[in-house]
Amino acid sequence: MPEHSHQLAAILFADIVNYTAMMQEDENTALEKITRFRHVIDIIVEELEGKVIQYYGDGCLVLFNSATDAVEFAKLLQTDFNEEPKVPVRIGIHMGDVLIRDGNVFGDVVNIASRIQALSPPGGIYVSEMVYRNIANKKGWIRFLLKKNILKNVKTPVRIYEVLTEYSKTVYHTGPNDEQVAIDENSIAVLPFVNMSSDKEQEYFSDGLTEDIITQLSKIKSFKVISRTSVTQYKKTPKSIREIGKELGVATILEGSVQRSLKQVRITAQLINAVTDEHLWSESYDRPVDDIFTIQREVALAIASVLNTTLTKKNRSNWIMYQQ
């Protein structure tokens, strides 16, 4: 290969999800995962005539001569990484003209592939429209058009598609123009709790509870939690749960009410599937006002259990210690 050359290539980025947090929690386990990550890539890449351009920290940049080979490689990777010991990996692929110089790859294709990878959920494979066009005849490979994305430092919106695998964890809302908008299944919005007390001055209490529960849920690493600023607009809104879910891009919504009388408080909360409007869970809590932190913890832990979210013992203990 000449020292400088241009060619049409498929660029694939693969990255281990939350690797920094893994290192902080258990260095040995994290090192085992990254060793497995690189070993599997080195084995499979040769089978599909790909070339590892660079390993960078917890990720990898790979070049293929065809989109088909790149996507096949990605599917094989996710199949392997979903077997024990599992490695949570996100993958992004784009295709176009690249400049190869001294063994390195340059061009907008590289930047776009990297941005697409960053949007992919753990276990997911996202590809650009250019890749999609090259593999559209592969029945069962592409699941949905997700949406047009404005990628960082990329002027033109990029259409992104998801490659179908048995490990895909996204759920979908139908967005504008019948595009399928991908939603992380562990995404949640906590709507402002309704003040049911006759004393309107207690409004600050219900608002404070909403903010505190958002804070508690945000401590769970596997949750994508919408900020308080974003949900405040839905206070006393006539919009349906489905409409709110679409606008916020979440799979589940928590709503509730607070009724305070003297030194007692009753909090009612319910969790709703924002896609199907299905009722998932509800509970009422009658507690003395001075026990409010325990209520917040109970509600947040109950939601995590309903969503089948696995909390590590360290997360759980740190969470409880923080509240005490």
pLDDT, tens digit, for every residue of 10-29?
Answer: 999 999 988 888 888 889 98
pLDDT on residue 312: 45
pLDDT on residue 35: 93
pLDDT on residue 92: 94
Strand ranges (E), 228-275: 252-261, 264-273
Tell me the CATH architecture of domain 4-182: 2-Layer Sandwich (3.30)
pLDDT on residue 202: 73
Mean pLDDT of 217-229: 80
pLDDT on residue 1: 44
Mean pLDDT of 251-262: 85
Structural fold of domain 187-323: Rossmann fold (3.40.50)
In Å, how far are 23, 108, 160, 217, 259 from 254, measured between CA atoms?
32, 41, 29, 11, 17
**b/e map of 53-68 (b: 16 or more CB within 10 Å)?**
bebeebbbbbbbebbb
Angle at CA 18, nearest 5°, toward 17 and 24? 145
pLDDT on residue 77: 93
pLDDT, tens digit, for every residue of 17-76?
Answer: 888 888 888 899 889 999 999 999 999 998 888 999 999 889 999 999 999 999 999 999
| Cβ 37 vs Cβ 80: under 8 Å | no
Task: Please name the amino acid found at residue 256.
Answer: G
pLDDT, tens digit, for every residue of 125-157?
Answer: 999 888 988 887 766 555 555 555 556 556 667
In Å, how far are 171, 205, 279 from 249, measured between CA atoms?
10, 27, 18
In whole angstroms, how large is the CA radius of gyration of the chain?
Answer: 23
The closest of 55, 63, 61 to 38, measured between CA atoms, is 55
CA 289 to chain centre: 35
For residue 238, whether the previous peptide bond is cis, meaning omega lies within 30 degrees of 0, is no
Sign of CA dihedral 292, 295, 301, 304: negative
pLDDT on residue 169: 58
**Which of the four pLDDT bands, split at 50, 70 and 90, describes residue 320?**
very low
The Cα–Cα gap between 259 and 271 comes to 18
Angle at CA 203, nearest 5°, toward 202 and 209? 95
CA 5 to chain centre: 37
> Which pair of tokens denotes residue 303?
């939601």
The answer, yes or no, to whether residue 282 has pLDDT greater than 60, is: yes
Domain map (residue ranges) of the chain:
4-182, 187-323
pLDDT on residue 181: 54
pLDDT on residue 10: 93
pLDDT on residue 44: 92
Highest-pLDDT range among 13-17, 45-49, 184-188, 315-319? 13-17
Would the pTM count as exceeding 0.75?
Answer: no
